[in-house]
Amino acid sequence: MAKPSRYQGYFHAFRDIIRTMHAHDQLDEVLALVVQKISEVLHAKGTLLRLLNQDTDQFEVKAAYGVGEKYLSKGPVNKEKLLILPNEYSQILQITDIWNAPRVEYPQQAWDEGIRMMLDVPLGVRKEMIGLIRIYLPEIREFTEDQLDFLLTIAEQCACIIERVRLSENQRTHYFHMAAQLEKMSSLGRLAAGIAHEINNPLTGIMLYSTSLIKKATADGPFQDGLQVIIDETRRCKTIIDGLLEFSRNRSPERTMRNLNDIIKSSLKILDNEFQLHHIKVEEKISEKLPAILLDANQLEQVFVNLLINAIQAIGDRGQLTVETGKTPLHRAFVAITDTGKGISREHMKTIFDPFFTTKADGNGLGLAISHNIVHNHGGDIQVTSKVGEGTTFLVSFPFT
């Protein structure tokens, strides 16, 4: 009988991890399996896994096994505290002095639990560290290069599958959100149409009578200012009503073969004076290899002008706007509009496409809702990423067929 290899436990753990991870699409289940198998194969006291939160730049606890479970309630760790070495994503850090290691936050607690050594195994994807596995050992051990390389191989596979599962979860969440958004907009559209028609006629009457009266009022009389307020506010109401009607109509696009580059260039030209007035530098990254596709140029120009105006307002004065066109890996045409403005907070990100949601004092909250409808009617998609204080990117994509 062949003598079992000293790496047999590693190979079995590796096989079990890969097999089970490919069979699951829930990130929590995948991470729980990873920490359990690593603890078992190394006869460790426990394992803790942290993943990097891109929004906060902090490593948050996502899974634990054994003594690692006692750290589940601990807060996140700053990115700077864990990323010390320049090639951290490809090196295992062996911590043998837990009392003086900068990374160890609770040395007394670790010592009391019988921990004498820790291994920090990075989870890296495309030379970027997305997480960290910390293994708690009851004694100081010597690890060969082969053993460390084997652990890194497991970690690399784990990182790739974690990224796949996270992407799948994000896509599923995005599609569920879109379905709910479309249902909400459909209901609001019907409601808006009814309200708009009911209010439009009285507003027209108010405008006619107030306009007629102001012509008869003396310039220095007591009614002039009051009537002007009535006229101005009625016009503002009619603007909102027109937006409601536009939103509720949800017209089907009249599509012809058009080049997306021509539409975005036309939209930029319309706002050229605004860019100069606000001292905004515009960088165009236009892909000349983009083929023509079926589009309603008028509707999409409305979308892009709205997105560009939002970007100008977010920047204020003196900033940069980047407009890029091209093909996505999924063979779709895209336009990306990126600004260096104030960004959008996380609490607002979920509602920016909702009708009447706005953070502007003079806004009506219909621009992005209408834009969302237009893009969806083209079979397209509109997504947004943002970081407060750094800027926002709107990515609009369309199928080629």
Mean pLDDT by 10 residues, the chain (401 residues): 54 68 68 84 88 80 82 66 56 88 84 91 78 91 83 80 72 67 62 68 82 81 81 77 62 84 91 90 91 88 90 91 89 92 85 68 67 86 90 92 70
Residue 25 in any domain: the answer is yes
Does one domain contain both 24 and 164? Answer: yes
279 burial via Cβ count (<10 Å: 0-12, 13-18, 19+): exposed
Does one domain contain both 121 and 269? Answer: no
CA distance 55 to 79: 11
Identify the pLDDT of residue 323.
95
Does one domain contain both 161 and 270? Answer: no
Does one domain contain both 20 and 144? Answer: yes
Does one domain contain both 16 and 127? Answer: yes
> Tell me, what CATH number does 99's domain have?
3.30.450.40
- Element at 386 (helix H, strand E): strand 381-387
Residue 57 in any domain: the answer is yes
Does one domain contain both 142 and 23? Answer: yes
Does one domain contain both 45 and 148? Answer: yes
Residue 231 in any domain: the answer is no
Number of separate domains in the chain: 2
Identify the pLDDT of residue 2.
42
Does one domain contain both 160 and 276? Answer: no
Does one domain contain both 113 and 14? Answer: yes
Contact 130, 51 (CB under 8 A): yes
CA distance 381 to 328: 12
**Of 100, 102, 104, 132, which Cα lies nearest the Cα of 118?**
104
Residue 189 in any domain: the answer is no
CA distance 25 to 81: 31
Last residue of a domain, one of 171, 195, 228: 171
> Tell me, what CATH number does 341's domain have?
3.30.565.10
CA distance 79 to 388: 18
Q: Number of H helices and number of E strands within the chain?
A: 11, 13
Does one domain contain both 393 and 292? Answer: yes
Residue 220 in any domain: the answer is no
Half-sphere exposure of 380 (CA within 13 A, CB side): 28
The DSSP 8-state label assigned to residue 1 in this structure reads -
Identify the pLDDT of residue 284.
94
Does one domain contain both 160 and 262? Answer: no
Alpha helices in 254-381 (DSSP H): 260-270, 272-277, 297-315, 346-349, 367-377
With b meaning 16 or more CB within 10 Å and e meaning fewer, what string describes 164-183? bbeeeeeeeeeeeebeebee
CA distance 158 to 371: 39
Identify the pLDDT of residue 3.
44
Last residue of a domain, one of 156, 171, 186: 171
43-to-24, 92, 381 alpha-carbon distances in Å: 25, 18, 49
Last residue of a domain, one of 155, 171, 187: 171
56-62 contacts, C-beta under 8 A, 24 or more apart: 59/131, 59/132, 62/27, 62/28, 62/31, 62/131
Residue 376 in any domain: the answer is yes
Identify the pLDDT of residue 155.
81
Identify the pLDDT of residue 257.
92
Give the Cβ contact number of residue 291 at 10 Å. 10
Residue 147 in any domain: the answer is yes
Residue 268 in any domain: the answer is yes
- Element at 55 (helix H, strand E): none
Q: Can you give the residue range of the structural domain that contains 305?
A: 253-401
Does one domain contain both 49 and 153? Answer: yes
